[in-house]
């Protein structure tokens, strides 16, 4: 008997068996390797867990907000059943890394499109236009303009560009305070540890409208920047074109308007009309 031939044949059989298992064993459960149009695969979507009206994990474990509803709609257009969507918390500082590592298939997390971010990821959209504003305590009349933040403490979250924008463009002497999440900034504002919280007006309106905060905070009513929310995908991914098609349909069939009305109507927040895909303001 030729033992070399026997050994080689065994090795080949082992490789074939492993290959067959890899091709057919997981039924596309790992998101980007999912089954796409047959609705049987899994897809993982990055969202925020702590932004009322945008992306919020409710006490019962469900999710709400415009980013959540947009993600559901897009996933359905890509061929995934809602039950097969896995929402994964993706904080501001972690978004680029999550996409690069394949931890998520796409991100819908109040993700403003900027030239710096476009160097690292691709964006579909925009699907929403927000403006940077300030949230202050309801009894604070000392802050009416961004320049009033000089020598005051301004909170934002790690990985967000909002506070740095204020310091660079409006109040160079503002003291920047970073926290891991917006809820931590809200607590610091309520306890007078900081004087203001800055981020997008849609996010701030969502917090101000929560029952436990009603009457305690107010928006300054400023438009310090345009924030074009996009859906982040891994650089070079063909998902960008597919998601853009889904977003266009979401607007044309009326779903976009309903989602925004449901999210912001109770807060009396006047949001911008649906932006044109591929056009930034």
Inform me whether the pLDDT recorded for 231 exceeds 90: yes
The confidence score (pLDDT) of residue 117 equals: 95
CA nearest neighbour of 79 among 126, 123, 31, 111: 31
258-276 pLDDT, tens digit per residue, is 999 998 887 788 899 999 9
CA nearest neighbour of 52 among 44, 43, 42, 63: 63
3-state secondary structure of 19: helix
Query: pLDDT-derived band of residue 10, with 50, 70 and 90 as boundaries?
Result: very low
3-state secondary structure of 9: helix
147-161 pLDDT, tens digit per residue, is 999 999 999 988 887
13-48 pLDDT, tens digit per residue, is 443 343 444 433 333 333 444 434 445 589 999 999
131-226: CATH class: alpha beta
Cβ contact 270:261 at 8 Å: no
232-253 pLDDT, tens digit per residue, is 999 999 999 999 999 999 999 9
Q: Do domains 36-129+229-267 and 131-226 have the same CATH topology?
A: yes
Which residues 6+ apart lie within 8 Å of 235 measured at CB? 99, 100, 120, 121, 122
Whole-model pTM over 0.85: no
Inform me whether the pLDDT recorded for 189 exceeds 70: yes
- Continuous segment of H or E residues that includes residue 75: helix 66-77
Phi, then psi, of 23 in degrees rounded to 5? -75, -35
Query: Residue 51 has what DSSP assignment?
Result: E
The confidence score (pLDDT) of residue 15 equals: 38
What's the rounded Cα separation, in Å, for the pair 118 and 213? 36
What's the rounded Cα separation, in Å, for the pair 145 and 34? 49
The confidence score (pLDDT) of residue 40 equals: 53
3-state secondary structure of 55: strand
36-129+229-267: CATH class: alpha beta
Inform me whether the pLDDT recorded for 69 exceeds 90: yes
- Domain ranges in the chain? 36-129+229-267, 131-226
Q: What is the CA radius of gyration of the chain?
A: 23
Instruction: Find the mean pLDDT for residues 128-135.
Output: 96
Share of the chain above pLDDT 90, in %: 72
3-state secondary structure of 244: helix
């Amino acid at each position: 008997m030729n033992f070399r031939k026997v050994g080689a044949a065994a090795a080949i059989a082992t490789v074939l068996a492993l290959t067959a298992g890899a091709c057919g064993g997981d039924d596309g459960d790992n998101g980007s390797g999912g089954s796409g149009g047959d609705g049987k695969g899994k897809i993982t979507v990055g969202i925020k867990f702590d932004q009322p009206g945008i992306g919020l994990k409710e006490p019962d474990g469900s999710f709400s907000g415009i980013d959540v509803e947009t993600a559901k709609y897009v996933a359905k257009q890509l061929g995934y059943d809602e039950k097969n969507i896995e929402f994964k918390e993706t904080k501001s500082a972690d978004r680029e890394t999550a996409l690069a590592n394949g931890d998520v298939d796409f991100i819908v997390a109040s993700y403003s499109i900027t030239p710096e971010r476009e160097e690292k990821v691709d964006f579909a959209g925009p699907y929403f236009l927000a403006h940077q504003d300030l949230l202050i305590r309801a009894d604070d009349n000392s802050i009416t303009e961004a320049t009033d933040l000089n020598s005051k403490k301004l909170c934002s979250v790690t990985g967000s560009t909002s506070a740095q924008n204020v310091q660079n463009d409006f109040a160079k002497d503002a003291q920047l305070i970073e926290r891991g999440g917006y809820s931590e900034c809200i607590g610091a504002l309520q306890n007078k540890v900081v004087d203001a919280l800055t981020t997008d007006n849609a996010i701030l309106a969502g917090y101000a409208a929560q029952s436990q905060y009603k009457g305690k905070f107010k928006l300054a009513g400023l438009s310090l920047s345009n924030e074009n929310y996009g859906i982040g995908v891994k650089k070079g991914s063909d998902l960008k074109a597919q998601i853009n098609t889904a977003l266009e349909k979401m607007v044309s069939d009326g779903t976009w308007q309903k989602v925004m009305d449901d999210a912001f109507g109770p807060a009396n927040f006047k949001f911008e009309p649906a932006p044109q895909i591929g056009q930034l303001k």
